[in-house]
Amino acid sequence: MQPVPHSREEVLTPRERILTFLKGDIPDQVPWFGDLDYWATAKIHRKEVPENFRESEDYIQWHRDLGVGFYLQGYFPFKEIIDNCNVSAWTEKNKRYRKIETPKGVLTECWQWLPTSFSEGHVEYLVKTEEDLPAYNYIIENTRYEPDYSFAVLRKKQVQEMGVVLVYTPRSPFMHLLAIDAGIMNIAMISASVPDAFADTIKLMRRKFTEAAKIAAACPAQIVMTPENLSAEMVGPHFFEKYMKEVQTEWSDMIKSEGKYSCIHMDGTLRALLKEECSLGLTFIEACTPAPVGDVPVKEWKNYLNGNSTVLWGGLPGVYFTEKVSDEDFDQFVIDVLAVMKQEPRYVLGVADQVPPDGLTRRVKRVRELVELHGRY
């Protein structure tokens, strides 16, 4: 069935535009949806907005004032409860710690807040060597999940015409270890030293995490994302094929069976994995970062679609919203991206991956103006 185009005279709301697009029809113009969460975090810490800004109706109004479609909010619609373990957490200055005591051993982790970047990073991972796997497996086995849909219900009332409600599954097991609990160096060492034990841990995580993914898929939201934070140079085809392909496919199919749209967050390099990800049946891949910040220009993205229907969402690197890029270069970059995206309804214009703390309000507002001028199909 051919996609149905809208009248050129009709002007859709951001919500109407993205739902029309994801349904497979052609809206009035290229959808424009931006991730403002990191920018909002900086504003909260600089006390420019209240602490509850992101949860309030003012957050949606901010998107409305900026002309940015709303979709992303970093929300897991389930509670994670660890049973049969002693879990303690505390902070010391800019560091936060967690210790989990199990019958199989004690694991600790530490994250440090970096005030100059308004972000935090690992000082110590929960899983450091293969000797930590028995205790880690015990934690995973004794973790249960309960639905927590209240924020999705609230967001549905707040967002109105500005967009859609999106919720998260867990990361896939391999990416959870990479991004949260172990890091790529520890993963490389453990998987090489004790490959069977590592594979057993991934299998256990998949079984348990799928329980949470089912809760997310049933949440009252239009879109369910697996927030992989995937970058091809960190994973590569070997790890992807062995540990990620099956679970991503399973979860995408499950999400679609619930009548929702499925996606992953891929915010790093694309070239080595984009074709593989486009073959899994995902509705879209979000936060695609193009050259010169990423490794594939937008005009080459279509070469990786491989005949599949997956939508690619992104295109505007975060640094372009700062003073490091001139207004003239910003305008030309957006126009060039739109020239590609309006050729066929396979792309959503988005920030890749986030507007940074030093983002400029005028730049964010400018995107809507450029889309209206240069982004009609």
Q: Where are the domains of the chain?
A: 14-80+129-374
For the stretch 51-68, pLDDT in tens is: 999 999 999 999 999 999
For the stretch 21-48, pLDDT in tens is: 999 999 999 999 999 999 999 999 999 9
Residue 359 has pLDDT above 80, yes or no: yes
The per-residue pLDDT for 73 is: 85
For the stretch 234-290, pLDDT in tens is: 999 999 999 999 999 999 999 999 999 999 999 999 999 999 999 999 999 999 999
What are φ and ψ of residue 124, in 5° steps? -145, 130
**Dihedral through CA 364, CA 366, CA 368, CA 372, nearest 10?**
-170
The per-residue pLDDT for 10 is: 74
23: left (phi over 0), alpha (psi -120 to 50) or beta: alpha
Mean pLDDT value of segment 194-212: 98
Query: Is the torsion defined by CA of 10, 11, 15, 20 positive or negative?
Result: positive
Determine which helix (DSSP H) or strand (DSSP E) holds 186, and give its type and residue range. Answer: helix 184-193
For the stretch 324-346, pLDDT in tens is: 999 999 999 999 999 999 999 99
Q: Kindly give the interhelix angle for 327-341 and 361-374, rounded to the nearest 10 degrees.
A: 40
The per-residue pLDDT for 151 is: 97
The per-residue pLDDT for 8 is: 54
The per-residue pLDDT for 132 is: 98
The per-residue pLDDT for 7 is: 55
Residue 3 has pLDDT above 70, yes or no: no
Structure-block tokens of residue 331:
């305008």
Instruction: Tell me which fold the domain 14-80+129-374 belongs to.
Output: TIM Barrel (3.20.20)
How far from chain centre, in Å, is Cα 138? Answer: 28
Cis amide linkage into residue 58, ω under 30° from 0: no
Residues in the chain: 377
Residue 1 has pLDDT above 70, yes or no: no
Q: What is the mean pLDDT of the chain?
A: 96
